[in-house]
Amino acid sequence: MTTPVRDLPLLLLGSGADPASERGVDCPGELPPASDPLLVERAAAAKAALGDRVFVLGHHYQRDEVIRFADVTGDSFKLAQQAAARPDAPYVVFCGVHFMAESADILTAGHQRVILPDLGAGCSMADMATFDQVEECWDVLEDAGIADDVVPVTYMNSSADIKGFVGRHGGVVCTSSNAKRALDWAYSKGRKVLFLPDQHLGRNTAVLEMGLSLDDCVVYSPHRREGGLTQRQLQDAKMILWRGHCSVHGRFSKESVDDVRARVPGVNVLVHPECRHEVVTAADQIGSTEYIIKTIEAAEPGSSWAVGTELNLVRRLAGAHPDKNVMFLDKTVCYCSTMNRIDLPHLVWSLESLVRGEVENVIQVDEETARYARVALDQMLALP
C-alpha cells in the first residue's frame, strides 16, 4: 500500500539528480530527492486516468519534477490565456502562485475549476499591495488634488483585488513584456501613473524606455503616513511607484554584475526588468522571462551568460543548452520560496483527489472583483 501524499514529509521536496548539476554547470544549490520514489509513477497514473478532464499549467519557475507533468509551460499571463483556451477541461491545475490562479479563474469559463496544489504558494510582491492600502493611497491622491489626472497600472503580479481596483478606476494590467505599451496608453489618458506593485519594473520602464528621469518618479510607501510623500512631491511627479519588489529579482546587486564580469571574461549579463535600476543599467540585456529563454536559445554556441532571474529557470536553461555557459548571476542560491511550495507531493495529491472526485484547493474570485479585474485585463489585451 502506498503512503497517502498528505502524510508525506513535505520538507523533502526534490526530484533526484539534476542533469545540469551532473555536468558541473555553475548553478549552485541542490534540491533533495523526492520523498517517495513512487510519486512520479503515481502522478503519471492519475494524470492518465483524468485524461482531457484536467489541464496542468506549469510556470517557468517551477521545479523540474512538476514541469514534467505540465501540459503547457509559460509565464503567468500566457498560462491564464492557455487555460481560457481550453474550455473543454473542467479542471485546471495551476502550478504557480496564488495571483496566477486568480487570473486563470477570471479568464476561464464558469464551469471550470482552477486548482492551486498548495494554498501556501503566494507571492511576496503581490502581498505588498493590499486592497485597503491602495484605497488609502487613492484617498491621499484625492487630497493632493491629482487623482483625476492619475491612471493606475498594475503589474500582472498582483492580486485580483488590485486588478479589480485598477479596472474600477479606468486603468490597465501589464506584463513585463508589454509594460511600455501599457504606460504609453496610460499617459494618453492622464498626466500621471500610479504603478503597482513593483517599483523596479515601473522605474526601469519609465526611465529606460519612456524617457522619463529618475526625478520624475516618486515612491509611495504604504507603511508611512501619506505614503511618506508631500503633496507637492505627488503633484510634481509623473510616475508614482508603489514600494514593492520581487524577493528574488530584488536581491541581485551591482556587485553581482561586477563580480561575474571579473570571473568570466566576455560574459553577457541578462536580467529581468524586476531587478533594481542599478542592476539593469549595468546589464547587457534586459527582458521578460520569455525574452530570457529566447535569447539563450538563439545565443552562439560557446557564449557565456549570467542570468538574473529565478534559479529553477536558470538551471533548466543550463541543462537545455550544454553548448553554452549559462550561469546564475549571483553566487548564492535564489529559488523563489513560494513557487517552490508546489512540489510533487502536492501535485500528486491534487491529481489523485480529482480521480476520486474530490476537488480540493479551488481558487475562486468573487463576481464583482472578477468583473472589474476583467476590465483591466481586457484593456491590456486591447493595447495597440
pLDDT at 76 over 90: no
| Model pLDDT for residues 118-149, shown as the tens digit of each residue | 999 999 999 999 999 999 999 999 999 999 99
Matching residue, cell 477541461: 89
Residue ranges of alpha helices (H) inside 96-249 are 98-107, 124-127, 131-143, 160-168, 179-189, 199-208, 231-236
Report pLDDT for 222.
98
Report pLDDT for 8.
33
pLDDT at 5 over 60: no
Cα separation, 205 vs 210, in Å, equals 6
| Model pLDDT for residues 317-352, shown as the tens digit of each residue | 999 999 999 999 998 766 788 888 899 999 999 999
pLDDT at 303 over 90: yes
- Domains, the chain: 5-122+338-365 (3.40.50.10800), 126-247 (3.40.50.10800), 249-328 (3.40.50.10800)
* Calculated CA dihedral for residues 380, 367, 80, 307, nearest 10 degrees: 70
Report pLDDT for 12.
29
Report pLDDT for 34.
56
